[in-house]
Structure 1
Amino acid sequence: MFIQQAFKSLHEWWRYLVGFIIIFLASQLGSIPFLIAVMFKVVSDGGDIESIQDPNVMMTVLDSNLTLFLMLLSFAVGLFAIYLVVRYLHRQRFVTLTTSRKKTDWGRIFFGFGIITVTTLVVTIMDYYSNPEDYVLQFDLVPFLILAVIAIIMIPLQTSFEEYLFRGYLMQGIGVLAKNRWLPLVLTSVIFGGLHLANPEVDKLGNIIMVYYIGTGFFLGIMTLMDEGMELALGFHAGNNLITALLVTADWTVFKTNSVLKDISEPSAGFDVIAPVLILYPIFLLIMAYRYKWSDWGGKLFGKVEEPIVIAEENNPNSTFIE
């Protein structure tokens, strides 16, 4: 099973605490170039350096493509830190943090990517033609191509960092310590959603948007536990963020990009905010369950996590794990 993979590595509680601290500090170090670039720009323009204490101001000082790249750089550094922590602090093969299968299933990654990409395109196109007054076509070839290069490279690194941290490292770490599946599902989902409190969408739409963020955490966690691997979550998360960044932006979103469309409507926290959690996510889970023959929902979401029995083979220094 996916969580049980961690038993085959060094999994003492203090290693996860130290590892999490290292990952957090690395991601913070990765944000320093963005801060330096913003400070340099403000000073060179004769502005007040204290103004950058406002996150909204920081996001508008630099060119939007440069801002996106520097903002995502911290996630790339954090992802590299996760790799180092897993390989050298836990002595764990990175593939076992990704999946319970012998190797990463790229077909699952592309399926997760595709299902949200198609859905986002269809929903956005339908809304564009239903409410054309809510959008402005802002396509500009050169800035868009620069955006596309940055987004295609950096956004999968950003989403992979979040998935490997929450659905991988913390899911396995909490699971082997708590010896169950429901606690890591709940904790990683709530923490994942809580970290989005700083997003400008929360200020604009109110705390109701947290239902979407936490619900998304549960959705990604459920598909990881049911599928015994992160591949679907990796693809889905990357597709969601990448297509959104390229397709549509707004002044009140965390990603302000040179996308094809700009949403100029006044946002409101209506049913559409929680509709994905209540309608789309269950449909997606049913489609995945049918495609990948999921079963034993109760056991995989709420069951115990038992340490494999180790049988020492004669004249073999390696141990055999019986799950």
Structure 2
Amino acid sequence: MYIEQGYKGNIGLWKYWVLPVCFIGFIIFNYISTVNSPVSVEAMLQSMIDKLGSNIVLIILLAPLAVGLFVVWGWVKLVHEQSITSLTTSRRKVDWKRIFFAFILWGSISSGMIGVDYFLNPENYQLNFNLVPFLILSLISIVLIPLQTSFEEYMFRGYMMQGIGLMVKNRWVPLFITSILFGLMHLGNPEVEKLGFGIMVYYIGTGFFLGIITLMDEGLELALGFHAANNLFTALLVTADWTAFQTNSVLKDVSEPVLGFDVLFPVFIIFPILIFIFSKKYHWSDWRAKLFGEITVVEP
């Protein structure tokens, strides 16, 4: 079982507090700074882009989280004396086919949805393609975005999921806590400033989706693939002046953003369909035990 993999390390439950408290403290500091700033997040990002260029700003945004991945891996390896494989999956080795399946599936679906929306509402988009900046963007994105998204998965669905699970001895508490914290991590995003707190339905809903597939599949592989595809294809295909990723993408969304069905559609329709597809492909069963059951204590 996935959460029980944490017993394979040198537990010391106090150790599980250090990284999450530091990271959450950083998120709180960032949010308070954002709220109290006389300049909007959108304006600050635009000012940075005007001075440095969107590709450099993207590196600045992604690099700390990319480094964070190696901090988590190092802490787990050196302090917990736990293997990265057991932090990743309950299988004997990481299943790369699962990662690539989720990546290709969601990459295809998300790209298709953008293509359909562009066909139906061309007035909402402006062609933004410029070959050289796009090639540089592609290189930056392919290198850094999987590291950034993997950091978030290893921190929330990996390290915190296992740590909280070992503390409370059940599965539903870590699922709820990590999903809500994952959503709250995005409070400082310009999307929240632009659309309001209703957008948190999407962020927290995404957290629950990723947590569910992690617990049901007994590993991070599907979540790693999905999250990398989500951020990578978004960065490459479409940008807007009010999003966290403002890039030299193929298209630019010039419509006035409105909080509406687009927020509910992925959470309540697309994500359940994906869960259904994964469940059939990987023969998931015993849903109640895997999502709400007790943790089996494993003696070190």
Distance in structure 1 (CA, Å) of the matches to 2:15 and 2:123: 54
Secondary structure (helix, strand or coil) at the match of 1:265 reads: coil
Residue 281 (structure 2) pairs with residue 285 (structure 1): no
Give a deviation string over 1:151-208, Cα, whole Å, max 9, x none: 0000001000000000000000000110000000000000000111111111111111
Distance in structure 2 (CA, Å) of the matches to 1:19 and 1:202: 25
| Paired residues for 1:82-161 under 5 Å | 82-161=72-151
Residue 49 (structure 2) pairs with residue 59 (structure 1): no
Residue 179 (structure 2) pairs with residue 193 (structure 1): no
Partner of 2:34: none
Distance in structure 1 (CA, Å) of the matches to 2:38 and 2:150: 28
Distance in structure 1 (CA, Å) of the matches to 2:256 and 2:112: 22
Partner of 2:212: 222
Structure 1 residue 20 displacement after superposition: 3.1
Distance 1:263 1:98, change over 3 A: same
Distance in structure 2 (CA, Å) of the matches to 1:52 and 1:255: 22
Structure 1 residue 76 displacement after superposition: 1.3
Residue 60 (structure 2) pairs with residue 70 (structure 1): yes
5+ unaligned residues in a row in structure 2: which ranges? 31-36
TM-score (norm 1): 0.86
Structure 1 residue 56 displacement after superposition: 3.0
Say whether the 8 Å CA contact 2:88–2:94 is kept in structure 1. yes
Distance in structure 2 (CA, Å) of the matches to 1:58 and 1:264: 19
Supply the AA of the counterpart residue of 2:200. M
Secondary structure (helix, strand or coil) at the match of 1:20 reads: helix
Distance in structure 2 (CA, Å) of the matches to 1:74 and 1:167: 19
Q: Which has the larger radius of gyration?
A: 1
Secondary structure (helix, strand or coil) at the match of 1:280 reads: helix
Say whether the 8 Å CA contact 2:190–2:243 is kept in structure 1. yes
Say whether the 8 Å CA contact 1:23–1:82 is kept in structure 2. no
Say whether the 8 Å CA contact 2:69–2:150 is kept in structure 1. yes
Say whether the 8 Å CA contact 1:201–1:254 is kept in structure 2. yes
Say whether the 8 Å CA contact 2:3–2:166 is kept in structure 1. yes
Give a deviation string over 1:199-237, Cα, whole Å, max 9, x none: 111111111110000000000000000000000000000
| Paired residues for 1:238-253 under 5 Å | 238-253=228-243
Supply the AA of the counterpart residue of 1:81. V
Secondary structure (helix, strand or coil) at the match of 1:262 reads: strand
Distance in structure 2 (CA, Å) of the matches to 1:158 and 1:52: 28
Structure 1 runs of 4+ with >2 Å offset: 18-25, 51-58
Structure with greater contact order relative to length (CA < 8 Å, sep ≥ 6): 2
Structure 1 residue 23 displacement after superposition: 6.0
Distance in structure 2 (CA, Å) of the matches to 1:233 and 1:144: 27
Aligned residues: CA RMSD: 1.8
Residue 5 (structure 2) pairs with residue 5 (structure 1): yes
| Paired residues for 1:233-312 under 5 Å | 233-309=223-299
More displaced, 254-263 or 265-274?
Answer: 265-274
Identical aligned pairs, as a percentage?
A: 56
Secondary structure (helix, strand or coil) at the match of 1:90 reads: coil
Give a deviation string over 1:63-95, Cα, whole Å, max 9, x none: 000000111000111111101110011010011
Distance in structure 2 (CA, Å) of the matches to 1:207 and 1:77: 29
